[in-house]
Amino acid sequence: MMVSVRHTQWGNLEPEGLGHDLLLEWAPWARDDREGGHSWSVKPRVDPGYHGDPPSRVDRVDRIVARIGLEQPRYYNVICHVYLGEKSYGDAARDLHMTQGWLRTMVLASCGLVEIRYRDLAD
C-alpha cells in the first residue's frame, strides 16, 4: 500500500515553467541534428529536411545543455532521455537505473538549471 501512495505523490510532479519550455523548444532542433547528421549552425544548410533556422533561444539552450553535459552528466542524461529521446518517465527511469520519483526530481532540477543559466546569459 505504501508504494502506491508514493507513486501518487510523485505522479503529480510535472515540469513547467521557462526551463521546461526552453527544453521543449530546443529538443526538436537538437534531435534533428542528431538524426540527420547535419548541423543547423552551418550555413547554408543543405539537408533535405530543412525547415528554417532555429530561434535564437535554441542556440542559447544548446550551449547551456552542452555545458551541463560537461559539468553534470547525470542531468544531461536525464535531458537526453526525456527531451531528446521522448521517452516516458517509466522507460527513462528504467534505462537510467533509477526510480520514477528520482527521475522526475532530476527533470525538475534540470529544468531549473536550464532556466537559471538562460536568465544569466540574458543579463
**Predicted confidence (pLDDT) at residue 63 exceeds the cutoff of 70:** yes
CB-based contact 46:54 (threshold 8 Å): no
Query: What pTM does this model have?
Result: 0.76
What is the distance between the alpha carbons of residues 30 and 5, in angstroms, rounded to a whole number? 37
Going from N- to C-terminal start, the domains of the chain cover 15-36+54-122
Q: Which residue has the higher pLDDT, 20 or 50?
A: 20
pLDDT tens for 66-111 read 999 999 999 999 999 999 998 999 999 999 999 998 999 999 999 9
- Asked if 81 and 97 touch (Cβ cutoff 8 Å), the reply is no
CATH class for the region spanning 15-36+54-122: mainly alpha
Report d(CA 93, CA 11) in Å as an integer. Answer: 13
pLDDT in tens, 41-60: 444 444 555 556 777 899 99
Q: Give the confidence band of 64 by pLDDT, cuts at 50, 70, 90.
A: very high
